[in-house]
């Protein structure tokens, strides 16, 4: 019963380094999402992919890129990490696309610290 | 753009009692969905309950129920018979298409 799997769970980077966070789901979901969670704030949407081959910006996309590799996998890349990107990152997926009441299923998160 | 406000950063309740968490949202859309998620210390995001905006009937899931006031754009969560395992952060969220916006959360502590 894997659901949504994120790797790695923890990572420490130096300013300016690059990194790719991996996400995979085995529920045959169409839509996938990347969020960041900062203290005192709820989750904020970085990017999403409504279907294989498409990606769109969310609320806070600056400094990030994404790739929807196939239906299962959706990666998030930090090209030049900055301390402001220190956060907990969550990947989520959902069955259905628009106008869907289906909830998002979340991974366990990646805690990323940038020094 | 949608905004979601949770005005209670922290709340506590005695075990077996009832507690209500508040949430207001602001969207100009007609077709949207509302959710409550629970995040225990393990950091997992767990769906508690969902509500379709076009449905007038309030959603219920066992001990969890909502009071959905569409005109007032209010979506509160009531937890009955609180249990120690309900201790967690609770997030209210509004979703239109693929754009889900979360509130800042309410930290709920259930006391024995």
Residue B99: band (very low, low, confident or very high) from pLDDT cuts 50, 70, 90: confident
pLDDT at A5: 96
CB contact (8 A) between residue B103 and residue A103: no
d(CA B9, CA B26): 19
Residue A42, token pair as written in the block:
């709820």
pLDDT at B74: 96
Out of A7-16, A90-99, B31-40, least confident range: A90-99
Disruptive mutation site among B33, B59, B98 for chain A (greatest number of A CBs within 10 Å): B98
Residue in the structure block whose two tokens are 């949770």:
B6
The DSSP annotation for B1-56 comes to --EEE---SEEEEETTS-EEE--EEE---SS-EEEEEEE-TT---EEEEEEETT--
What is the residue-averaged pLDDT of chain A?
92
What are the strands, taking DSSP E only, across chain A? 4-7, 10-13, 19-25, 31-37, 43-49, 56-57, 65-68, 74-78, 87-94, 105-106, 110-114
Q: How many Cβ atoms are within 10 Å of B43's Cβ, its own excluded? A: 16
pLDDT tens digit string along A16-68?
Answer: 999 999 999 999 999 999 999 998 888 999 999 988 889 999 989 999 999 99
Contacts A–B by Cβ distance under 8 A: 52
d(CA A110, CA A6): 7
Cis peptide before B53 (omega within 30 of 0): no
SS3 state of residue B85: helix
Residue A97: band (very low, low, confident or very high) from pLDDT cuts 50, 70, 90: low
| Chain A residues within an 8 Å CB radius of B93 | 42
CB contact (8 A) between residue B98 and residue A48: yes
Residue B46: band (very low, low, confident or very high) from pLDDT cuts 50, 70, 90: very high
Residue in the structure block whose two tokens are 């969220």:
B93
d(CA A70, CA B79): 40
| Chain B residues within an 8 Å CB radius of A42 | 4, 6, 91, 93, 101-105
pLDDT at A98: 59
User: Pick the residue with more confidence: A73 or B95?
Assistant: A73
Residue in the structure block whose two tokens are 């900055």:
A82
User: Pick the residue with more confidence: A37 or A2?
Assistant: A37
The verdict on B91 touching A (C-beta cutoff 8 Å) is yes
CB contact (8 A) between residue A42 and residue B93: yes
Q: What is the mean pLDDT of residues B17-40?
A: 92
- Neighbouring-strand partners of residue B33: B52, B95
CB contact (8 A) between residue A42 and residue B105: yes
SS3 state of residue B101: strand
What percent of chain B clears pLDDT 90, i.e. is strictly above it?
77
């Amino acid at each position: 019963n894997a659901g949504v799997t994120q790797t790695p769970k923890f990572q420490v980077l130096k300013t300016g380094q690059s990194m790719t966070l991996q996400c995979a789901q085995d529920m045959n979901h169409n839509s996938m999402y990347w969020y960041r969670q900062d203290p005192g704030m709820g989750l904020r949407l970085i990017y999403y992919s409504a279907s294989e081959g498409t990606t769109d910006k969310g609320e806070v996309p600056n400094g990030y890129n994404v790739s929807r590799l196939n239906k299962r996998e959706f990666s998030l890349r930090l090209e030049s990490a900055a301390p402001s990107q220190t956060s907990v990152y969550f990947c989520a997926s959902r069955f259905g696309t628009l106008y869907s009441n289906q909830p998002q299923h979340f991974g366990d998160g990646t805690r990323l610290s940038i020094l | 753009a949608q905004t979601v406000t949770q005005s209670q950063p922290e709340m506590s309740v005695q075990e077996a009692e009832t507690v209500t968490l508040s949430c207001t949202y602001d969207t100009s859309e007609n077709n949207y969905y509302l959710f409550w998620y629970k995040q225990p210390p393990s950091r997992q995001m767990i769906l508690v309950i969902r509500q379709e905006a076009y449905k007038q009937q309030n959603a219920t899931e066992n001990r969890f129920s909502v009071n959905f006031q569409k005109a007032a754009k209010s979506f509160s969560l009531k937890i009955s018979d609180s249990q120690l395992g309900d201790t967690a952060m609770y997030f209210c969220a509004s979703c239109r298409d693929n754009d889900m916006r979360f509130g800042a959360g309410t930290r709920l502590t259930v006391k024995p």
